[in-house]
A and B are shown apart, each in its own frame.
Chain A
């Protein structure tokens, strides 16, 4: 059974239909990829799946429970985490605080008005562990704005990971990264796949084909093809489109 499923999702903004009858399912323990040209509706699809937008029609199910139309904070607390294509960090805060705020144990303490934060060893240790995973432990006490672009991307993933999700949505994690950083990221995703189900939107075909177990191709707001990387490489629709050339690369 799949861990996360979207059935017949429709979404329109005014007269513009962005998602038309999209069905996707992501299996537990797998890395799933979502690809497609710019403006195909991939990010909107993520927004609908994680609660930013309500679908007009259709159903989203996580772990057997319907989550359609729930607000993002509810979906997040159930174990669904995401990173953003346009970076979304707490810029004035230090790196470790960005991660700390996303920890479930911090969230449990959110109404406490008299307890400590940074002198709480439990919290700082848990946050440091997450930072070690994404390679930012050395920069824990620096301001988020002082990080380089690649480091900010890593922090973005760190924040999503800190929530200890069961499923992690990554929206174009390689965007803007150089080849070394992409290689590091691929290693990170390779390690993470042991502990969490991953779904990622990605333009970098080599990256995606190397890591994903299954890929869905979205175009014109629809899923036009689905399969393993190998299956997709021989799909004639994919081959005929510009995506096919990339897939061969």
Chain B
């Protein structure tokens, strides 16, 4: 059985290869996406959801805390970005910072109430808070625009001091999202392999022992929640920029369920890279299956069920297994050659 915690010191190649692959795929995506029959905006959407999913997996996979209301923080980020652009100032960096901060503040408050709970109580409370935020988004008409949401949110240009780049085109926006995704991935990779990250994983495995080793378990649970909501907020800011609007549906229970499903299917429980596979699979399934049949979600749902029953380690677990089989046959072949000679 493979788990997130099992390989403490990987070879540098094993670490760098997926990062390099992701970097290469992202930097060339606008060139090959149309060529394979997809479209530019899909790349942006995937990059945004990847930021959301990678941050979510810190909580879900690494800390083992099951949040089913994380869509709310994506939504809070989206609204915060929109409100900032419409009421305070038009600015990209300030808007994204506010989006991440607003979600983190909401996460800090909710996390403080959640972190003494575990198991089913934790999960139920995340749903309850998620629904509360969603309800607020619909009812606080004067602030959020009710069911219509905030419309006409501008895409502020990217200011780099010496140059200003317009973000109105989808390719430019994609590169912004991709750059932020790469930064998020690097930060999260460092984080899960830091003392803080190892303690989180220890808590997932055995809360009692972690406590007797001298760790304030609830503070770590709280911190993991806040960090993951911060990434959700960042993704939400980009989301409202991409959609040029923010609406209650972005923070619905449906959205919260989707992120859990993506992370599980991808194998977030056994691999850092799992969420990436899961998000890509979902969006490709949506567009490819969706082009074939209106009932694509039914097929995707069935695939999810089969996956959970037969391969709970997800896509990443399957790849790992294939890799091990290949290297296994390779080794046994080498052994046979050795014996024969």
**Interfacial residues, chain A to chain B (CB-CB below 8 A):** 50, 52, 71-73, 76-77, 81-82, 84, 88-94, 96-97, 100-102, 104, 106-107, 109-119, 141, 143, 159, 163
Contacts and interface: CB of A to CB of B under 8 A. Distances in A.
A159 B213 contact: yes
B206 A91 contact: yes
A109 B195 contact: yes
29 contacts: A71-B211, A73-B214, A76-B211, A76-B213, A77-B214, A88-B206, A90-B5, A90-B205, A90-B209, A91-B206, A92-B6, A97-B202, A101-B198, A102-B214, A104-B214, A107-B214, A110-B195, A110-B199, A111-B195, A112-B195, A113-B191, A113-B197, A115-B194, A116-B194, A117-B194, A117-B195, A119-B9, A141-B8, A159-B209
B214 A76 contact: yes
A89 B5 contact: no
B97 interface: no
A3 to B, nearest CB: 19
A90 B196 contact: no
Interface string B188-231: 00110111111101100110111111111100100000000000
Contact of A93 (B5, B208, B216): B5
Interface of B: 3-6, 8-9, 190-191, 193-199, 201-202, 205-206, 208-217, 220
Given A101-B198, A111-B196, A113-B191, A93 B205 contact: yes
B211 A92 contact: no
Contacts of B195: 106, 109-112, 115, 117
B191 A114 contact: yes
Nearest to A123: B195
B270 to A, nearest CB: 10
Contacts of A102: 213-214
Q: Which of A89, A110, A116, A159 has the most CB of B within 10 A?
A: A110
Contacts of A77: 214
B69 to A, nearest CB: 24
Nearest to B192: A113
B209 A112 contact: no
A185 B202 CA distance: 27
Given A110-B215, A112-B194, A116-B194, 17 more contacts: A73-B215, A81-B212, A88-B209, A89-B206, A92-B205, A93-B201, A93-B202, A97-B202, A100-B198, A101-B199, A102-B214, A106-B195, A107-B213, A109-B195, A111-B196, A114-B191, A143-B6
Contacts of B209: 84, 88-90, 159
A90 B202 contact: yes
A171 B265 CA distance: 42
A44 B201 CA distance: 28
A117 to B, nearest CB: 5
Contact of A117 (B6, B8, B217): B8
A124 B4 CA distance: 20
B19 to A, nearest CB: 16
B229 to A, nearest CB: 16
Contacts of B208: 52, 88
A147 to B, nearest CB: 14
Nearest to A109: B195
B317 to A, nearest CB: 14
A93 B209 CA distance: 13
Contacts of A71: 211
Contact of B216 (A73, A97, A104): A73
A185 B208 CA distance: 25
A92 B5 contact: yes
A143 to B, nearest CB: 6
A98 to B, nearest CB: 9
B320 to A, nearest CB: 15
A11 B267 CA distance: 45
A159 B216 CA distance: 17
A82 B198 CA distance: 21
Pairs of residues from A and B, 7 with the lowest C-beta to C-beta distance, nearest first: A76-B214, A92-B3, A109-B195, A92-B5, A118-B9, A77-B214, A102-B213
B182 to A, nearest CB: 17
A117 B206 contact: no
A91 B5 CA distance: 9
A73 B202 contact: no
A45 B223 CA distance: 33
B8 A76 contact: no
Contacts of B217: 73
A50 B212 contact: yes
A55 to B, nearest CB: 18
Given A101-B198, A119-B9, A114 B215 contact: no
